[in-house]
């Protein structure tokens, strides 16, 4: 077998592994979203993603009450399909404004942008009159 054929086979195997990894990560994302929706059907949820070009990509999910109190913050950071959501317990109980200010003071710019996007989504839903139906997976 020629070298270029081996290279082509290796490329196909790596592509298949990436596809399987992406499927597993999307299944994890859907599971987390449905757990959040089932846990707080009366809350507001915002989700945002920031792609990292050379750095880490970040997905943030913020769950808040109708009076802007943060219930939960979940952040997935990583460069690969093996990244998982982590709960940020230190952010629970803050207001959305305080959460945005705390993240702005941090050094992780992509995380700051993802959480700011999730907060903006919550505010758009709240402004449009979204309440209990806002948290549906």
pLDDT surpassing 70 at residue 136 = no
User: Residue 121: CB partners within 8 Å, gap ≥ 6?
Assistant: 46, 47, 48
Structure confidence at residue 7 as a pLDDT band (50, 70, 90): very high
Each domain of the chain, given as residue ranges in start order, spans 3-134
* Range 116-130 average pLDDT: 86
Mean pLDDT of the chain: 84
* CA atoms of 75 and 31, how far apart (whole Å): 14
C-alpha count within 13 angstroms, C-beta hemisphere, residue 49: 8
Of 7-11, 55-59, 79-83, highest mean pLDDT:
7-11
Percent of the chain with pLDDT over 70: 93
Gap between the Cα atoms of 74 and 87, Å rounded: 5
Q: Which of 5-9, 95-99, 108-112 has the lowest mean pLDDT?
A: 108-112
Q: What are the Cα distances from residue 71, in Å, to 10, 46, 82?
A: 46, 12, 26
Q: Determine the pLDDT at residue 100.
A: 86
**Percentage of the chain surpassing pLDDT 90?**
28
Query: Would you say residue 134 has pLDDT above 60?
Result: no
pLDDT, one tens digit per residue, over 73-103 is 999 887 777 788 888 888 888 889 888 888 8
């Amino acid at each position: 077998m020629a070298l270029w054929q081996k290279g082509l086979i290796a490329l196909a195997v790596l592509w298949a592994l990436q596809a399987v990894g992406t499927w597993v990560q999307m299944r994890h994302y859907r599971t987390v979203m449905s757990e959040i929706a089932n846990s707080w059907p009366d809350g507001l949820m915002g989700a945002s993603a920031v792609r990292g070009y050379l750095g880490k990509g970040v997905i943030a999910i913020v769950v808040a009450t109708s009076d802007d109190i943060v219930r939960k913050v979940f952040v997935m950071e990583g460069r690969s399909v093996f990244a998982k959501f982590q709960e940020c317990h230190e952010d629970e109980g803050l207001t959305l404004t305080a959460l945005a200010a705390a993240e702005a003071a941090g050094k992780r710019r992509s995380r700051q942008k993802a959480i700011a996007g999730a907060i903006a989504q919550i505010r758009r839903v709240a402004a449009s009159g979204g309440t209990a139906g806002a948290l549906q997976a």
